[in-house]
Amino acid sequence: MASALILTILNTIHQIIVFIGRYVYKNFVYGDRGAKVPPINNPLLLESATSLAKKIRRQEVTSVEVMTAFIERAKEINPIINCVVDERYSDALKEAEEVDKFIASGVMSEEEMEQKKPFLGVPISTKDSIQVKGMINTAGCVHRKNVVADKDAPVVANMKKAGAIFYCLTNVPELCMWFESNNEIFGRTSNPYDTFRICGGSSGGEGAIQAAAGSPFGIGSDIGGSIRMPAFFNGIFGHKTSRSIVSNEGQHPSVHNAEEEHMLGIGPMCRYACDLKPMLKLLAREEKVALLKLDEPVDIRKIKVYYQENDLGGNFVTPVDKDIQIALMKVVEYFKNDLNLEVTRTNISRTKNNIPMWLANMACKGSVPLAQQISPNPNQKINVYLELVKKIFGKSNHTLAVLLTALKAEFGVQPDTPEHKYLQEERDKTIKDFQDILKDDGIFLYPSHATVATYHTETLLRPLNFTYTSLINLLGMPSCNIPLGLGREGVPVGIQVVSNYNNDRLCLAVACELEKAFGGWVNPNP
């Protein structure tokens, strides 16, 4: 009883701090609105990757023209939002020239190109934590600033084989361990709708460049929401795949045990829902892709819809913004009234305990302490207390967010303790809760985040708000962020749709349906 009272008091104090913090950020630190990215003047920038590939195959436009358009746009927006950390523009243009020559030669028919090289000549980007041969692979860590990938990650190799041309890498938080993309090498990336606000993380630079039409599509990775949060904050589509479907090789940081492997997922990020399925087909392991049955038709009118408006009271998680609640209920009403579907409101009580369960999963046997992962010496932890002191004087190579996260981890639950065992059992019960509901024909609608994009560094006051995405990583189930326009603050809103294991096709079908119904991605400066 006493502990419950203490928690209530602490939660109340936290909410007061958050309220005061927002007032200070809005009225004294930043002001009402920041800048937007410049208007989009080239119509090629408004095409989906699938559409661009089709036009290139048919010689309606050249790969060089498309590549030039996106390179120029990336150069135009980068001084404003700081999303690109490495580029190979000259080499990408040369590869685009070779694509155009190949197509003009007639060696391969249009049908063969569509089958064997579905994204031939289309520019593609990815985050600076996934290996692209010859490009940096820092993961935002100062001690890795000179690391260059000597090979491609399997997902990169798959996209190259499909004809896509990698031309730039995008920014991430230090070690990909925060939901604002900021590090001591490249600095901070801003939201293209409002530069005073965050773009999310860890695939934050990727979300920002796509929302600003600087890239037609790209690859992200997600262990606690690192695809879906940036997709949400930037108003694009982002899909976390079912566990173990896509290879996690070729990333830094790498996984260290089965629990991390099940939670981490590489997946597609794009402005248009039509690009999700063809990308997933290519990203999935060859031996796993058949499990997804991606070509099996989905009858939207036969799915069962479940939804939950919040996490039912997780500690130190702020309430869901009204705009997000409204967006979710609009989708519920659309399914109920326009499609006449069976829609059920759920109350899965264990969702409120997700953060302790997720942290326990991140601390399983074999995990490497965060204080060691960010150390220049891979066999030794940094002194977090010393680094915090150095940070005060601007002498630390680490961000405040990662230092505080490392400090919290030191005092967190440890493997093989009774508490750890209990939380793992709770995780398994939570998985069963969802499996019992979803079965093979159900989807679950849930907020992608508690708030719309916050002001820069305001995330430090709301560190546990990633619970809405990390829950699905804990389950290992597929989930797709679906953009639903802009809210009252002028930044994107949306929700995530979740399905049972290997039923990714349900998420993708719902993404296409809701894009038609609600419009999908919104031009940040029309």
CATH number, residue 271: 3.90.1300.10
What pLDDT, on the 0 to 100 scale, is given for residue 313? 95
- Does residue 282 have a pLDDT over 70? yes
Query: 461 is in which domain, residue-wise?
Result: 42-367+415-518
Is 23 among the domain residues? Answer: no
Query: Per-residue pLDDT averaged across 86-102, rounded?
Result: 98
Bridge partner residues of 217 (DSSP): 270
Can you give 460-516 as a three-state secondary structure string? HHCCCCCHHHHHHHHHCCCEEEEEEEECCCCCEEEEEEEECCCCHHHHHHHHHHHHH
- Does residue 261 have a pLDDT over 80? yes
Is 30 among the domain residues? Answer: no
Both tokens of 104, joined, read 């003009």
DSSP state of 254: P
Report the percentage of the chain scoring pLDDT > 70: 100
Rounded CA separation 153/161 (Å):
12
Is 445 among the domain residues? Answer: yes
Q: Measured in whole angstroms, how far is the alpha carbon of residue 248 from the centre of its chain?
A: 15
Q: State the total domains in the chain.
A: 1
More confident residue, 364 or 336: 336
Both tokens of 100, joined, read 């155009």
| Of 186, 189, 181, nearest in space to 80 by CA | 189
Both tokens of 457, joined, read 């560094």
User: What count of other Cβ atoms lies within 10 Å of the Cβ of residue 333?
Assistant: 11
Rounded CA separation 276/267 (Å):
9
Rounded CA separation 169/371 (Å):
26
Residue with tokens 């090629």, as numbered in its chain: 44
Q: What is the pLDDT of residues 464-515, one digit of tens each?
A: 999 999 999 999 999 999 999 999 999 999 999 999 999 999 999 999 999 9
Is 315 among the domain residues? Answer: yes
Q: Measured in whole angstroms, how far is the alpha carbon of residue 464 from the centre of its chain?
A: 16
Is 405 among the domain residues? Answer: no
∠ at Cα 113 (111, 118), nearest 5°? 110
What pLDDT, on the 0 to 100 scale, is given for residue 94? 98
What pLDDT, on the 0 to 100 scale, is given for residue 1? 60
Coil, strand or helix at 281: helix
Report the percentage of the chain scoring pLDDT > 90: 97
Is 223 among the domain residues? Answer: yes
Q: What is the pLDDT of residues 118-174, one digit of tens each?
A: 999 999 999 999 999 999 999 999 999 999 999 999 999 999 999 999 999 999 999
Residue with tokens 């408004």, as numbered in its chain: 46
Coil, strand or helix at 446: strand
Helices (H), 212-264: 228-234, 258-263
User: What count of other Cβ atoms lies within 10 Å of the Cβ of residue 75?
Assistant: 14
Query: Per-residue pLDDT averaged across 112-120, rounded?
Result: 98
Q: Measured in whole angstroms, how far is the alpha carbon of residue 216 from the centre of its chain?
A: 16
What pLDDT, on the 0 to 100 scale, is given for residue 214? 98
Indicate the pTM of the whole model: 0.98
**What Cα–Cα distance (Å) separates residue 141 from each residue in 131, 156, 191, 409?**
15, 21, 22, 18
Question: For residues 177 and 141, is the Cβ–Cβ distance under 8 A?
Answer: no
Q: Measured in whole angstroms, how far is the alpha carbon of residue 157 from the centre of its chain?
A: 20
Question: For residues 465 and 166, is the Cβ–Cβ distance under 8 A?
Answer: no
Q: Measured in whole angstroms, how far is the alpha carbon of residue 515 from the centre of its chain?
A: 18
Which residues does the annotation mark as catalytic? 127, 202, 226
Q: 36-53 burial string, b = 16+ CB within 10 Å, else e? A: bbeebeeebbebbbbbbb
Question: For residues 182 and 444, is the Cβ–Cβ distance under 8 A?
Answer: no
Is 317 among the domain residues? Answer: yes
Is 176 among the domain residues? Answer: yes
Query: Per-residue pLDDT averaged across 177-204, rounded?
Result: 98
What pLDDT, on the 0 to 100 scale, is given for residue 32? 81
Indicate the average pLDDT of the chain: 97
- Does residue 379 have a pLDDT over 70? yes
Q: What is the pLDDT of residues 3-18, one digit of tens each?
A: 889 999 999 999 999 9
Rounded CA separation 241/155 (Å):
13
Both tokens of 79, joined, read 């001084």
Rounded CA separation 418/333 (Å):
44
